[in-house]
Amino acid sequence: MKTIKISSQNLSRKQPLLPAIAILMVLGCFSPSQGNENNEEPIYVGSLACKDCHPEEYDNFMTYAKKSTSFQSIEKQMRHLTPDEIKQCYPCHTTGYGQPGGFISLAETPHLKNAGCEVCHGPGAEHARTAEPGAIISNMSKKDCEVCHISERVKAFKYKPLIHGGAH
């Protein structure tokens, strides 16, 4: 099993790390997005898990991609929405909502509250554990973005696909 180094710099972040650390500790039994020999589902680990190996991409994503703070949009609208309406926002404004190992709630999965790296690249537990390039989706197209960025949302939010430059 891979040893995970946690620096005091990472611990000083405001984002709670305990759920992500717990997930990373059990990664030895998981395999790529097709599942593993035990038919376990892939798991989401959150964008912070990408930082150590991909610092430039992580910093660019956190600085330039609006997805990195997408939950703020939900928080701004919460008082105007019913709980069911809020849940309709989760698939595009969180990581892995409705998927095994994805966002459940702020209390249970705070490390997945924004639309992070894994929204485009898929669940990252196996990739984080092995650094195997094939354990993560690396080649995206505009079609991948259109899961959330449908034509009416494009018009409403003046979306411009940043496939190659938005996060990296």
Q: What is the pLDDT of residues 40-88, one digit of tens each?
A: 678 999 999 999 999 999 999 999 888 899 999 999 999 999 999 999 9
What is the rounded average pLDDT of the residues 79-104?
94
For residue 50, give both structure tokens.
């990408």
Cβ atoms < 10 Å from Cβ of 47: 29
CA neighbor of 95 nearest in space, from 154, 131, 45: 45
CA neighbor of 126 nearest in space, from 7, 32, 6: 32
pLDDT greater at residue 99 or residue 151: 99
Residue boundaries of the structural domains of the chain: 8-139
The predicted model scores a pTM of: 0.70
CA–CA gap between residue 101 and residue 125 (Å, rounded): 10
CA–CA gap between residue 70 and residue 114 (Å, rounded): 5
Confidence of residue 110 (pLDDT cuts 50, 70, 90): very high
What is the CB-side half-sphere exposure of residue 97 using CA atoms within 13 A?
18
Rg over alpha carbons for the chain, rounded to the nearest Å, is 16
pLDDT of residue 158: 57
Confidence of residue 28 (pLDDT cuts 50, 70, 90): very low
